[in-house]
Structure 1
């Protein structure tokens, strides 16, 4: 097992999930539920499944497309999201 990759993956996902919609949903569900254990198990299972799907799709994509192209598409996608967040449409005001 690549322990360095494990640590990097954990840190990246943990930090990106803080304050994310999934954490806010867990807070709301946990606060309104009489069974926080069920909320924890449900949200943990959902995050595990989402991560598994991401890894499977990522591995499949890496088999088909060059790494440089995948990184370029991801960078452009994030840049477009940033522009949209910085300059919302006139109808959003």
Structure 2
């Protein structure tokens, strides 16, 4: 096992999940629930399942498509999203009296 990759993956996911909406949902559920163990186990299971599915799908796609295609599709997707955000008109909210 590559311990460096394991540690790097853990740190990156841990940092990125700190402000995530799933983390905020876990905080809200933990604060209003009497069973903290159930909240922890449910949250951990959901994160593990989502990560597992991401790894399995990513591995499957890597066997179907060449890597330069995947990178090109991702680059095009991010470019389109960025352009839509830059070119979107801001909706004017009428003043309320």
Q: TM-score, normalised by structure 1?
A: 0.81
- Unaligned runs of 5+ residues in structure 1 are none
Q: Which has the larger radius of gyration?
A: 2
Kindly report the root-mean-square deviation, in angstroms, between the aligned alpha carbons of the 2 structures.
2.3
CA distance in 1, matches of 2:19, 2:86: 19
Q: TM-score, normalised by structure 2?
A: 0.78
Deviation string, structure 1 residues 28-68 (Cα, Å, up to 9, x no partner): 11111011111000000000000000000000010011122
2:59 aligned residue:
59
More displaced stretch, 32-41 vs 62-71: 62-71
- Unaligned runs of 5+ residues in structure 2 are none
Deviation string, structure 1 residues 52-90 (Cα, Å, up to 9, x no partner): 000000000100111222223334434555566677652
1:41 aligned residue:
41
Q: Which has the higher helix share?
A: 1
1:20 aligned residue:
20
Specify the SS of the correspondent of 2:91.
Answer: helix
More displaced stretch, 76-85 vs 13-22: 76-85
Q: Against the structure 1 CA distance between its residues 83 and 33, is the aligned structure 2 distance closer, same or farther, given a 3 Å change threshold?
A: farther
Where has structure 1 moved over 3 Å in runs of 4 or more? 75-89
